[in-house]
Amino acid sequence: MCVKKRRESFTLIELLVVIAIIAILTGLLLPALNSAREKGRSITCLSNLKQFGISESLYQGEFDDCIAPPSDSRLIHGPHLYTTRYHWDYFFGKQYLKLKTNAGGWPLQNAWKVFQCPSDTRPDTASTSRPRSYAILYSYVDMSNVDELHRINRIKSPSQCIFAAENDAMKKRPAGGTKSNAYCGFSSGEGEVVFWNSNNMGWNHGLKTNMLLLDGHATSRQVFTDRNYNGTSPEQDLYYTKLQ
């Protein structure tokens, strides 16, 4: 006659050991997973910036080598005055990236994600404006004098000049200059589409900011200056960052 062996169950100690091992493995794997996830976000962000670089090149070809939509439509082939909706972001998004707008002409919900870094977690609500994680140098749109019109052929080293970079929408910088209200096609005291002398670039990726340089390549650099942003000379403004 065959005698069945009694099935032995785990003891409490064995269960605790298994749980401890799982906890240790989770603790070891989570940082690596988080790092890989953030790396993916940063790559997507760089891809966004590269698309702006393509748009900026198309703009130069269409508007006599001028770098970005100006602050005064009288000084260039308008009519895209630097005012409500007609900022560089709105013009690039609608004209070159062919992003959708609603019946009123405002950016359509969930259709302008290219202007939002994946690490920028502000929701894309049902309002008329979409979150924007990027800004350009004020010097490119300051057209108060026709002699100051910024064209690409006046820049000595395009590969060493910032065109666009992440703003401080997520308020990760330690002081001042936050842009929590930065939205596509909208400008206000807390949400300007450009970097002024009181602005800070964002730290959306550790202590680094993704940025697009004038020659069209995107890179990641550490921003080391909290204040005193120049905002008037694209070649001098390079000193706001340092290569890593």
Q: Where are the domains of the chain?
A: 15-242
Tell which residue, 25, 68, 61, has the closest CA to residue 194.
Answer: 68
pTM above 0.85, yes or no: no
3-state helix, strand, coil split of the chain in percent (to 5) is 35, 15, 50
Per-residue pLDDT of the chain (244 residues; tens, 9 = 90+): 555 555 566 677 777 777 878 877 777 666 666 667 878 889 999 999 999 999 999 999 988 888 888 766 665 555 556 666 778 888 899 999 999 988 888 888 889 999 999 988 888 776 667 888 898 887 787 766 555 567 888 787 788 788 898 887 777 666 555 556 778 877 665 566 787 655 677 878 877 889 999 889 999 887 655 444 555 555 555 544 443 3
Cβ-proximal residues to 204 (8 Å cutoff; 6+ apart), any chain: 45, 117, 119, 120, 133, 166, 169, 170, 172, 210
